[in-house]
Structure 1
């Protein structure tokens, strides 16, 4: 049962609306930056399928978030203004699960989740050098997420009267949706993070300056593996299993947060490419070595020998652009920064 006495539904909806608006504002700023990066790259580089895909996906996410927020604005006006003057009017309005606006916002959220999970799965595919076997299980989980999510929307639309979101007939669908989506993201996050850490450790054998792991490496790994998204999903599942109205807060906040995670990755890719344009693709370290040869007990100094160790960097943009290339034998693909000896 819900905790209506300790955390009223109306209060939860109001807080959820506020947080969604705040996060959507951040999403809009990041979306504008991401679009600028994509369009700027289009002018300097030949058109690519990757740019079109990223542009279309980010725009779709932003449109879905705008639509979801507009529906919440309409619901806030109806619930707190139109129904607010009636006894329990606001509570009754938000308790009507079969209300078309409530069903619509849930359909939008499910769609947004599927788009986000698809992108995480795609990132996993790219990071693991386009190995199809690595995305078989996440792909099946993604399909199960869609079935359980839209199935929950159908059940919600069939609720008669003032139903609770924690009703027994809805719990199996909703729990399955949250759990499967969380499993998909945790699995993909761990696999992506493992690949990034492995790549960073490999390059330390050649770069002394990279011996210590910086805080930025940790942040970069978390952003690119979408661990923030997984943590938000875990909070949503936990509040729902606890029967708390706080799940409404997590649910509405998660809608634009999915877009934030996606656009952060696009910005990271774009900034990574910009840095590569400035510094170049190759760094060569020179290690002077003086050999000593002994002949008949007498040592003779040899001429200094310069040993060149060349480390070629493949930046974010280049590794993502593997999507457009048919030659799968090119270097190791990494999320973040990938280096090939």
Structure 2
């Protein structure tokens, strides 16, 4: 799918990002499965032995699961920021805040892994130190997702006239962008309060977030690579719908039609529908 069009650096980057998210999500769910299996089967003699294992799981399992989760979130946020950057005409100023939140969140995420590993090694340490880093990490990731999504939706609405906005194609674009990002945002919004409250149910929410993190940006990338999203070059000017003699609407950038008029290449069959 990614290589449907001519191969270039951007396609390679998208391909590597998708592969990375798939690998990270798979490793994360395997780690969760090993943790649950060891806790409830190998150490499931009593509720006490199960609880003790969950409190002090193997160090490698804790670090690996947390590391791939953090890396997966970083890649997913980067894909969303890339899409926002593309839709805004590759304007770096627009993505400064989401980019800073992503980078700061990644730093806090890996710091929380260090604190979590230290707690597994020595349970006498204060566990809240891990939460102190993990909470702002997930909060920054949620901010990045919501902010980038709102910027994408705003750009689509402002770059599309009323006629095109009502057309079936752009309704689908908006629908995919909103649903895919909301899927990620809702999962993160549910997980964050559970983590802050130190609830035992946060493990279930984290398992879901780990998978949704890979699914949400993949939906956006799939939309782009399959050719259903608007090409990058058309984000420079608003879109206008024209009709032909056959009665079928044609979506073109407004500047494209004006150029045809100026050069005399526009014909009477091109009727401006506004």
* TM-score, normalised relative to structure 1: 0.63
Correspondence 1:11-90 to 2 at 5 A: 37-39=1-3, 41=4, 45-86=5-46, 88-90=48-50
Which consecutive aligned stretches of 4+ in structure 1 deviate over 4 angstroms post-superposition?
Answer: 160-164, 211-218, 273-276
SS of the residue aligned with 2:243? strand
Quick one: distance in 1 between partners of 2:149 and 2:83? 10
Of Structure 1 and Structure 2, the greater strand share is in 1
Distance 1:58 1:231, change over 3 A: same
Correspondence 1:229-244 to 2 at 5 A: 229-244=184-199
Is 1:210–2:186 an aligned residue pair?
A: no
Give the gaps of 5 or more residues in structure 2. Answer: 232-239, 255-273
Larger Rg: 1
Between the two proteins, the alignment pairs up a number of residues equal to 243
Correspondence 1:144-293 to 2 at 5 A: 144-159=104-119, 160-162=121-123, 167-200=127-160, 202-204=161-163, 210=166, 216=172, 218-223=174-179, 226-273=181-228, 284-285=242-243
SS of the residue aligned with 1:244? coil
Deviation at 1:216, TM superposition (A): 4.2
Distance 1:103 1:163, change over 3 A: farther
CA RMSD of aligned residues (A): 3.3
* TM-score, normalised relative to structure 2: 0.77
SS of the residue aligned with 2:89? coil
Quick one: distance in 2 between partners of 1:56 and 1:213? 28
Deviation at 1:272, TM superposition (A): 3.3
Give the gaps of 5 or more residues in structure 1. Answer: 1-36, 277-281, 288-308, 315-340
Distance 1:176 1:275, change over 3 A: closer
Equivalent position of 1:312 in the other structure = 252
Correspondence 1:120-131 to 2 at 5 A: 120-131=80-91
Query: Does 1 or 2 have the higher relative contact order (CA < 8 Å, sep 6+)?
Result: 1
Of Structure 1 and Structure 2, the greater helix share is in 2
